[in-house]
Amino acid sequence: MNDLFTKCRNFTIVRQLMASGIYPFFKELESEQAPEITIKGKKFIMFGSNNYLGLANDPRMKQASIDAVKQFGTGVAGSRFLNGNTVLHMELEQKLAAFKGREAALIYATGYQMNLGVISALVGKGDFAVIDKLDHASILDGCRLSQGELARFKHNDPADLERVLKKIGPRHGKLVIVDGVFSMEGDIAPIPEISKICKKYGARLMVDDAHASGVIGKRGHGTCEHFGLTSKEVDLVVGTCSKSFASVGGFAAGDENIIHYLRHVSRSMIFSAALPPASVAAISKAIDIIDAEPQRLKRLWDNSRYLMKRFKEMGLNTGETQTPIIPVVIGDDEKTFMLWRMLYDRGLFTNPVVSPAVPPKRALIRIVATATHTREQLDRALDIFETCVKKILKKKSAVLVK
């Protein structure tokens, strides 16, 4: 008899990490997402959060959520399609559309559900979803859920995208999907070149701004603003509300007829309970703050550039990042986990990233300094990092050192 639970009993690699003391996941935070956090009573400098603009613990965000709970309760007890739609949801969609320079927007309960729902609704039988090989897992899963075919092109390689589209040919519908900012290594997709190739081969273009919203562009409005592009070049902009918007949820923004179609066809939105009012109000407030306080975006970049300068002085390999996401590339999985543990023991919270989140032999420590970190906190963290790197890598590694 083939017992499908056999795979569960044979899944031992994580238990080995736990036994060796270098298991880095599911840490139980006892405080809010701030520049410093608490775990088991110990203070840590937080370098592992996507709270880019530092809004997750902003008093105005908290108050907006509290006010929404008082008026609308803790949940809406149903799908927006039926009983769960509120004026807050509709107002937020208008704000998101304006933020992204689009006619309309649609919000989802999570960013993951958004990619599942949008891609599976748009890509049908006979169509192709064409994705970058390093696109987020939610994009890949959305493609798998659709009834269309999947094709991939080399990371950030417009020439390879052209090769793929040319091979597919004109008879098939084509949706090209790319991350605007890639979440692990911080590089930016060459959207202008990708857009031109999409136009040439009759493909539509969808850009996921999960890590671009509030991070790039003159006002922090994302990838299209960064490149000076409009709906003529990018058909659909999507993203999550769990990073700079400091809550949870997902969104799609585009022409009104696209959003109208998704509103009535996208299964992950129709068959999920609506985003709670507290979260909707927080996202709405975040957009207000981002537009009213451009100095937050400046501080984010100032802090990031300061870290990058110091890391380069240490001779570390920070890959091809163009954003506040800073990957310190180690290469070897075991050394990466060991370095993470040393940093953690000294009060620095970081994210170790290994395959499949990054390519094999490309293991890294992912670091983000937010807009609200102080220079003293940055210097303290850098001192910890430099000490640990020297200890863990006494023998020079060609992968680590540029």
* Rg of the chain over all Cα atoms, to the nearest angstrom: 22
Neighbours of 77 (CB within 10 A): 11
CA distance 214 to 387: 32
Q: What is the DSSP string of 257-307?
A: HHHHHHHHH-HHHHTSPPPPHHHHHHHHHHHHHHHH-THHHHHHHHHHHHH
List of residues 6+ apart from 217 with CB closer than 8 A:
223, 224, 225, 226
Is 211 a known active-site residue?
Answer: yes
The span from the first CA to the last CA of the chain, in angstroms, equals 53
Contact status, residue 250 vs residue 97, Cβ threshold 8 Å: no
* Catalytically annotated residue among 243, 244, 247, 373: 243
Question: Chain-centre distance of CA 313, in angstroms?
Answer: 28
The number of residues in the chain equals 402
Enter the tokens of residue 137.
Answer: 């897992």
Enter the tokens of residue 251.
Answer: 């969104």
Contact status, residue 287 vs residue 99, Cβ threshold 8 Å: yes
Is 183 a known active-site residue?
Answer: yes
> Residue 184's closest CA among 360, 368, 325, 23?
325
Query: What SS3 state is found at 92?
Result: helix
* Catalytically annotated residue among 146, 183, 242, 279: 183
* Catalytically annotated residue among 89, 211, 221, 226: 211
CA distance 311 to 402: 11
Amino acid at 383: D
**∠ CA(252), CA(263), CA(142), 5° rounding?**
55
Q: What is the DSSP string of 16-32?
A: HHHHHT-------B-S-
List the catalytic residues: 183, 211, 243
